[in-house]
């Protein structure tokens, strides 16, 4: 059976260099989550709730509890240990946000909205601060209309968003209680690229201070686009580089604005950064620390970069649980954790939460949540139009 390998070192930060050698050493490469085996037994059960007998009659499947929660003072309940990954600016995110938002709200899970998803984009004033943001207004409305007692909408704020006053807009216009900060950009140490097929959109992003290539304001570039020689532009996100003082100060500033909960998505590349993220998140009383590892993501990143851009997700996940135990043993605060990576099936969720107990509260999923939303929307369109496709079997 596959076994999660865990790093060993004199302290948390010293485990980093050695773990990199082991992870890339060939024979000692860690197992993926899908290679681990759930081994059950027919001889009763362990951990049965009080008042229930460890038998078929006493432990039927329907009452099995899947609820969990995260946060320090004002916790968020989840109907199941699932959180969506942040949808970015791809067309899939644009077209399928509403069915995904409705499904997540009805299912009672937290939905993360990448702020760059929200088109139409933010409209700044003369100082460059956001005064109108139709895209985020639509995103918040789609989720909140169907939200019950479980889950919440987390809007992820990038460097570009923060500079334009996204946090202030979210709490003043919508009264959101939570937001998510982000370290790094993707699990593979590359920037956030998106193809832009519209000259107007490229000019809009350029005016907002984002990096767009080639320069859409150049006359030669505009002429090339209009005659068809240039088909699209590239938008490149800035990497979120951090330091302890700046991070703690930003958390204090956000709480001063009125946010009740602050989450953090940390793209971790080595164990030293993992140790720092967990330590600083505890000091800042981060309500949910999400740890992303490769290979993962939505599929837009170069596949060859994924295995070499960071430690394998299984190693990061095992180390996160070990580090959490060390922090707890030293009496230091431990944030609630959510783990991301190449996870999709229900077995992956079960194994990740089980191996991460009691610190891991949820698993973050991306393609596994997008695909059902796309399928449901497609079937709904067929039903509404009465135009069902004919399926031929060979």
The CATH number given to whatever domain includes residue 363 is: 3.20.20.70
| Separation between Cα atoms, residue 121 and residue 42, nearest integer Å | 56
| Separation between Cα atoms, residue 108 and residue 82, nearest integer Å | 9
Residues 123 and 207 in one domain: no
Number of CB atoms found within 10 A of residue 345's CB: 12
Supply the pLDDT for residue 123.
66
Q: Which pTM does this prediction carry? A: 0.79
Candidates 242, 247, 257, 256; CA nearest to 281 is 247
Identify the band that residue 321 occupies on the pLDDT scale cut at 50, 70 and 90.
very high
Residues 285 and 357 in one domain: yes
Structure tokens, 373: 């939303």
| Separation between Cα atoms, residue 341 and residue 343, nearest integer Å | 5
Query: Of 183, 210, 236, which residue constitutes the final position of a domain?
Result: 236
Instruction: Tell me, yes or no, whether 328 lies in a domain.
Output: yes
Residues 273 and 306 in one domain: yes
Residues 364 and 262 in one domain: yes
Instruction: Tell me, yes or no, whether 10 lies in a domain.
Output: no
Instruction: Tell me, yes or no, whether 20 lies in a domain.
Output: no
Residues 96 and 161 in one domain: yes
Between β-strands 233-236 and 193-196, what pairing exists: parallel, antiparallel or unpaired? Answer: antiparallel
Query: Which H or E run contains 309?
Result: helix 305-309
Instruction: Tell me, yes or no, whether 292 lies in a domain.
Output: yes
Residues 175 and 275 in one domain: yes
Supply the pLDDT for residue 260.
94
Residue 257 has pLDDT above 90, yes or no: yes
Number of domains present in the structure of the chain: 2
Residue 127 has pLDDT above 80, yes or no: no
Query: Of 236, 270, 289, which residue constitutes the final position of a domain?
Result: 236
| Separation between Cα atoms, residue 374 and residue 98, nearest integer Å | 10
Instruction: Tell me, yes or no, whether 153 lies in a domain.
Output: yes
Residues 198 and 227 in one domain: yes
Residue 220 has pLDDT above 90, yes or no: yes
Instruction: Tell me, yes or no, whether 80 lies in a domain.
Output: yes
Residues 207 and 165 in one domain: no
Burial class (CB in 10 A: 0-12, 13-18, 19+), 379: exposed
Residues 252 and 231 in one domain: no
Q: Which long-range contacts (CB under 8 A, 24 or more apart) does 188-191 make?
A: 188/294, 188/295, 188/297, 188/301, 188/302, 188/305, 188/306, 188/309, 188/310, 189/267, 189/269, 189/305, 189/309, 189/310, 190/301, 190/302, 190/305, 190/309, 191/236, 191/237, 191/238, 191/239
Identify the band that residue 300 occupies on the pLDDT scale cut at 50, 70 and 90.
very low
Residues 163 and 285 in one domain: yes
Query: Of 203, 236, 269, which residue constitutes the final position of a domain?
Result: 236
Cα dihedral sign, 335-338-339-340: negative
Highest-confidence range of 23-27, 38-42, 196-200, 334-338, by mean pLDDT?
Answer: 334-338
Instruction: Tell me, yes or no, whether 60 lies in a domain.
Output: no
**Residues in a beta bridge with 226:** none
Mean pLDDT of 245-255: 91
Mean pLDDT of 103-115: 87
pLDDT in tens, 171-199: 999 999 999 988 765 444 555 567 888 89
Residues 265 and 312 in one domain: yes
Identify the band that residue 217 occupies on the pLDDT scale cut at 50, 70 and 90.
very high
Greater pLDDT, 11 or 213 = 213
User: Are 378 and 95 within 8 A, CB to CB?
Assistant: no
Residues 150 and 223 in one domain: no
Supply the pLDDT for residue 84.
86
Instruction: Tell me, yes or no, whether 27 lies in a domain.
Output: no
CA angle in degrees (0–180, nearest 5) for 240-202-219: 125
Supply the pLDDT for residue 124.
62
| Separation between Cα atoms, residue 189 and residue 79, nearest integer Å | 33
Containing structural domain, residue 230: 193-236
Identify the band that residue 225 occupies on the pLDDT scale cut at 50, 70 and 90.
very high
| Separation between Cα atoms, residue 151 and residue 155, nearest integer Å | 13
Residue 138 has pLDDT above 60, yes or no: yes
Supply the pLDDT for residue 232.
92
């Amino acid at each position: 059976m596959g076994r999660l390998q865990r790093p060993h070192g004199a302290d948390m930060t010293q485990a980093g260099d050695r773990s990199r050698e082991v992870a890339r050493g060939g024979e000692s490469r860690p197992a993926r989550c899908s290679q681990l085996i759930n081994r059950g037994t027919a001889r009763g059960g362990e951990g049965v709730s009080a008042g229930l007998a460890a038998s078929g009659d006493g432990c039927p499947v329907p009452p099995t509890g899947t609820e969990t929660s995260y946060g320090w003072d004002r916790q968020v309940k989840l109907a199941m240990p699932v959180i969506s990954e942040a949808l970015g600016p791809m067309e899939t995110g644009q077209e399928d946000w509403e069915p995904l938002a409705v499904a997540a709200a009805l299912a009672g899970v937290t939905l993360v909205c990448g702020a760059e998803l929200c088109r139409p984009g933010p409209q700044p004033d003369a100082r460059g601060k956001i005064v109108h943001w139709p895209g985020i207004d639509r995103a918040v409305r789609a989720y909140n209309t169907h939200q019950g007692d479980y889950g919440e909408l987390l809007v992820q704020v990038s460097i570009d968003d923060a500079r334009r006053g996204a946090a202030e807009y979210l709490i003043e216009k919508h009264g959101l209680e939570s937001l998510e900060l982000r370290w790094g950009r993707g699990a593979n140490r590359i920037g956030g690229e998106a193809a832009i097929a519209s000259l107007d959109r490229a000019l809009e992003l350029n005016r907002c201070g984002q990096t767009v290539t080639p320069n859409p304001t150049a006359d030669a570039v505009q002429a090339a686009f209009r005659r068809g020689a240039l088909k699209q532009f590239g938008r490149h996100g800035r990497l979120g580089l951090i330091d302890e003082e700046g991070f703690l100060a930003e958390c204090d500033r956000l709480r001063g604005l009125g946010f009740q909960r602050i989450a953090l998505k940390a793209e971790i590349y080595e164990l030293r950064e993992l140790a720092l993220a967990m330590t600083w998140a505890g000091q800042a009383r981060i309500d949910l620390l999400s740890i992303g590892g490769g290979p993962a993501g939505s599929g837009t990143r170069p596949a060859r970069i994924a295995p070499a851009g960071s430690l394998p997700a299984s190693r990061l996940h095992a180390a996160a649980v070990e580090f959490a135990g060390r922090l707890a043993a030293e009496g230091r605060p431990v944030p609630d954790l959510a783990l991301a990576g190449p996870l999709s099936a229900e077995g992956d969720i079960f194994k990740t939460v089980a191996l991460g107990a009691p610190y891991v509260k949820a698993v973050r999923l991306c393609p596994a949540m997008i695909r059902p939303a796309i399928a449901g929307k497609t079937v709904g369109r067929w039903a509404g139009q009465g135009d069902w496709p004919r399926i031929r079997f060979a």
